[in-house]
Amino acid sequence: MIAGFYPAARQPLLIVISGASGAGKDSVLQRMKDRGLPFHFVVTATTRKPRPGEKDGRDYFFVSHERFAAMIEKGELLEHAIVYSDYKGIPRQQVRQALDSGQDVVMRIDVQGAETIRALCPEALLIFLVPASEDEMVRRLKARKTETPQDLQLRIETARQELQRMHVFDYYVVNADAQLDAAVDLIEAIIEAEHHRIHPRRVSL
Amino acid sequence: MIAGFYPAARQPLLIVISGASGAGKDSVLQRMKDRGLPFHFVVTATTRKPRPGEKDGRDYFFVSHERFAAMIEKGELLEHAIVYSDYKGIPRQQVRQALDSGQDVVMRIDVQGAETIRALCPEALLIFLVPASEDEMVRRLKARKTETPQDLQLRIETARQELQRMHVFDYYVVNADAQLDAAVDLIEAIIEAEHHRIHPRRVSL
């Protein structure tokens, strides 16, 4: 490298993978992990009980409601939300440490949480997953649980509203059925491109 | 696609491939053409004589000094420069037509020309090629012509000054010897990422 001419050393990115319900956030995250990409994937704290096969510290940090309340109280969470009567939150210290070590940090988060991260860290990299069509979105929402038609209608309405928040994000990635790898390829391309900006994002939390 | 939620139809990009002397602009452009990437590669107008194998309208538009002077006079060139006592320039109409047809336009241009394009079109996508090391840069400059040591020294100084204009650009791409494909892969990734910005560049000329 030519001294003095390059941007400062590679800056770690704070990467938020979000998108409306039915956009396939979990599948995308799982594929990114399966590929062994060199990111720190945030481990979320949650009050819900572990499901079979889930491991504390790897899949989630499983904590009591009391502990979670204390984490909120002490400002230990960047962001938190109630999901089906359980709490989920992003531990601030974990994200800071990974960034300090120079690693890109990836978090999967809902649209409202992504907006919170944007407010805390304007230079976070926000990627918005979108389904390829409304049909596909509805099909995914239906597949998720056995619910009443009213529940499903509510989920669809919520997803539509979330889609309207897209303007808060930096990039969109279409996650079509059976094209998961294309979506992950594009996410990798976006991250690689962002690492070659002459004026890199400066992340602080 | 979900009507109303996506950014407007894919916006064509005006892509400038530039970089200091010795950064390997020509090799990168040639490799992009060889790959058959779906871009409009700008055909430059020049007053120099065709070399063996060069074809008018494909490699360059070969024009007389009189015609070139008229093109400048009539504002038909986006940008022009004198290179070794010959003129080179970018025909404005050609770029406009390609953009109007929705094609991404790629032009290879020196650093000063890239700054002119930035001034004309602030939302142009400016990519700066850099050699992997000063040694490599000097080796490429030496390989180019049989010149006096004074000429070479002048070229090196110019290249150093050009490197200092990097801050005007959007992205940098290291073009290392024997890693041309990696450089072109990264350029493709940058372009693909840019096409997925939620707030796309709006190019007008």
B189 contacts on A by Cβ (under 8 Å):
188-190, 192-193
**Strand-pair partners of A197:** B171
CATH code of residue B137: 3.40.50.300
Claim to verify: residue A78 and residue A17 sit in the same structural domain: no
Q: What ipTM was assigned to the predicted interfaces of this complex?
A: 0.92
B155 is catalytic: yes
Claim to verify: residue A110 and residue A166 sit in the same structural domain: yes
Write down the H helix ranges in A89-133. Answer: 92-100, 111-120
When divided into structural domains, chain B yields a total of: 2
Claim to verify: residue B191 and residue B112 sit in the same structural domain: yes
Q: What is the pLDDT of residue A1?
A: 44
Claim to verify: residue A93 and residue A183 sit in the same structural domain: no
For B19, name the nearest residue in chain A, comparing CA atoms only: A5
Of B170, B169, B14, the residue nearest B96 (C-alpha)? B14
**Distance (Å) from the alpha carbon of B133 to chain A's nearest alpha carbon:** 5
Range of the domain at A22: 1-39+104-200
Claim to verify: residue A111 and residue A174 sit in the same structural domain: yes
Q: Considering B10, B35, B67, B144, which one is annotated as catalytic?
A: B144
Can you list the positions of beta strands (E) in B55-203? 60-62, 77-83, 86-91, 105-108, 125-130, 171-174
Distances (CA, A) of B115 to A22, B76, B79, B162, B183: 44, 18, 10, 11, 22
A36, A77 in Cβ contact below 8 A?
A: no
pTM, two decimals, is: 0.93
**Distance (Å) from the alpha carbon of B92 to chain A's nearest alpha carbon:** 27
What are the pLDDT digits (tens) for B147-205?
Answer: 788 888 888 999 999 999 999 999 999 999 889 999 999 999 999 999 999 999 999 88
Contact state of A193 with B172 under an 8 Å Cβ cutoff: no
**Structure tokens belonging to residue A29:** 């995250």
Claim to verify: residue A24 and residue A119 sit in the same structural domain: yes
Is A198's Cβ below 8 Å from some Cβ in B?
yes
pLDDT tens for chain A, residues 1 to 205: 454 455 557 899 999 999 998 899 999 999 999 999 999 999 999 999 999 999 999 999 999 999 999 999 999 999 999 877 899 999 999 999 999 999 999 999 999 999 999 999 999 999 999 999 888 888 888 887 657 888 888 889 999 999 999 999 999 999 998 899 999 999 999 999 999 999 999 998 8
Contact state of B197 with A6 under an 8 Å Cβ cutoff: no
Q: What is the pLDDT of residue B2?
A: 52
What are the pLDDT digits (tens) for B57-99?
Answer: 999 999 999 999 999 999 999 999 987 789 999 999 999 999 9
Q: What is the pLDDT of residue A205?
A: 84
**Strand-pair partners of B108:** B17
